[in-house]
Structure 1
Amino acid sequence: MQPTVVLLHGAFANSFSFAPLQAELGLLGHRSVAVDLPGHGFAATYPRAYQTPQDPKELAAAPGVLKSVSHADNTAHLIAVLERASANGPVVLVAHSRGGVVATAVANTRPDLIDRLVYVAAWCPVDLEVAAYYAEPEMAEVDPDVLGHVLACDPAELGLIRANFRTADDRALAGLKDAFLADGTDDELLAFLATLQPDESLDAGGPDDRARAGSWGSLPRTYVRLTGDASLPLALQDRLIREGDALTPDNPFDVRTLHGSHLRWMVRPEAAARLLAEIAGETVSNP
């Protein structure tokens, strides 16, 4: 039976990010579903002050739905999606970036809903919480101000993170390009930023959401390394792979590699689609 490839977005993103990839997967004959976590996609908050002409003061104060969305809400939502998808056959769950935290939490609690778990330059916390990895040597070269240049509010006051991706500030755009799409064009960057939403939840999980050997560790797992990723560096990706393998040495990651930045695989998705199609085919032939 054909598997369903379930695509899970990262921070500030949504199902819209995966449209080009889904088109390629469809042309290769594969069924896919792109998930919107709670408060994302058409459920996102877009303050009027985010439109032009922008009002920075109002943008910093306007309430957003993600203030009330927790990591537990995201986990429960993804479980509900996977329950529906698994009724139609095998499920390949593909998580990108921060989406890996939610995917890991679901794999900890409902591994029965996943036939293969795929991380694409995604967070897979094993030894530490996600926040703690930022203080580790592998993250030393990541620009800590990349989002600071577009931060539009005080997260502590608003209860969420709000970014102004509609900025025309050259410094901010250059920082975003270097961090996320250095191998793309300026137009590709602006097109991708236009799909992002301004808000993201503050809750990225805690110590209980690290990978667990008895559940997460029982699943077939693939880690797709992105060699040119400047926001989740290759050194950290490799560390997450090593930690996962050490947790379950009898069930190590199947490691694949794509060349490119954090976003290239979605902006120019042909190679990624072929790789995911291959993984999906292997999932069916090696249940």
Structure 2
Amino acid sequence: MTHEPAPVDHGGHRRPPTLVLVHGTNTSSFWCTGLVSELTLRGHRTVAVDLPGHGAEGFFPRAYQAPQDLAALATEPSPLAEITIDDYVERVVDVVRRARRHGPVILAGASQGGVTVSRVGNAIPELLDRVVYMAAYCCVDLPNLAAYLETPENSDSLLPLIQAAIVADPTVLGVNRLNWRSADPAVFQAVKQCLAADFTDEGVSRLLNMLEPDETAAIPLAEARGEAHTWGRIPRTYVRFTRDRLIPPALQDRFITEADRLTPDNPTDVRSIEAPHVGPFDRPDLVEILAGLASR
């Protein structure tokens, strides 16, 4: 595999890259508004993608509004039940193709967004100059995200705490529906411990209002492995979040080890920042890492 040459300007100079950012589960492009602003103010082309069914296309069940009807919330159908990983990949591939007309592309994903990054890397490796995983699932040996949840490296994950917010059976609705607006103190504490360890209570409240109730249940079970002959040829960076209690550092290290074993001639560029799972993503150390990659 060879990379498709990136466009050059009229002086024959290689144009600067575009950073394309992919969000994780139950959220949207809003997760990285601060990151986009900081990178843009430094002169870096940056765009955040809303995956299908998220952001401007987000679905908020009527029963999710106040006053909540919890019985109805458990059964109200969701359009996200029809969305698949292929839909996510198609959306991001379209953004990458459009960005590539103007120069190199760096594709970065957070958390579950890593699944989409890997699948896009398999599909269009010639259009990507680097892939970046920010405390993200980077599946190599095991077929999907769900399989990694059963590994010893994930044993310290506090993901089970988040189950306090689950209000519907995903096998029935086809979505993972969480009630982030719950008045149950256990939900607030679960989010703080699992996702936002060093946030103030006010910061956790803001986070809860950024999260979306529905996420397609198909993604954790979708084939997510990066392939050596496609994805494995793309330079990659893994940014470890050392205070992550959703994807523990031990599991992040397993992703790195597996990737390096698959592609020993293309080792992972590993960085670490002291952050919980959700950042915040505009923290200066992460901005510096991405700005540095864009400046290479």
For the superposition of Structure 1 and Structure 2, which TM-score range results when normalised by the shorter chain?
over 0.9
SS in 1 for 2:32: helix
SS at match of 2:161: coil
Matched pairs, number: 281
Match in the other structure for 2:277: 262
CA contact (8 A) 1:71 1:205 kept: no
The correspondence of residues 137-286 of structure 1 with structure 2, limited to 5 A, is 137-204=152-219, 208-266=223-281, 268-282=282-296
Residues 105-135 of structure 1: CA deviation (Å, up to 9, x unaligned): 1101111121110000100100012111111
**What residue is the counterpart of 1:55 in the other structure?**
69
- Give the aligned partner of residue 285 of structure 1: none
After superposition, the C-alpha distances for 1:112-168 in whole angstroms (9 at most, x for unaligned) are: 121110000100100012111111111111134222100111111111111001112
Hey, which bits of structure 1, 4+ residues long, moved more than 6 A?
A: none
Distance 2:223 2:82 in 1: 20
Query: Which consecutive unaligned segments of at least 5 residues does structure 1 have?
Result: 283-287
Output the CA distance in 1 between the equivalents of 2:29 and 2:158: 26
CA–CA separation in structure 2 for the residues paired with 1:212 and 1:13: 27
Equivalent of residue 14 in structure 1, options 28, 31, 42: 28
TM-score, normalised to structure 1, is 0.95
In 1, are the aligned partners of 2:125 and 2:230 still within 8 Å (CA)?
Answer: yes
> CA separation in 2, counterparts of 1:100 and 1:31?
21
In the alignment, structure 2 segments of 5+ residues that lack a partner are: 1-14
Distance in 1 separating the partners of 2:98 and 2:242? 34
Cα deviation, residue 265, structure 1: 3.5
Residue 84 of structure 1 pairs with residue 105 of structure 2? no
How far apart are residue 104 of structure 1 and its match?
Answer: 0.2
The residue aligned with 1:127 is: 141
CA distance in 1, matches of 2:159, 2:249: 17
| TM-score, length of structure 2 as denominator length | 0.92
> Contact (CA 8 Å) 1:184, 1:264: kept in 2 or not?
no
Shift in Å at residue 29 of structure 1? Answer: 1.4
In the alignment, the residues of structure 2 paired with residue 131 and residue 208 of structure 1 have an alpha-carbon distance, to the nearest angstrom, of 10
C-alpha distance 205-191 of structure 1, shift in aligned 2 (>3 A): closer
2:224 is matched by which residue type in structure 1?
D
**CA RMSD, aligned part only?**
1.2
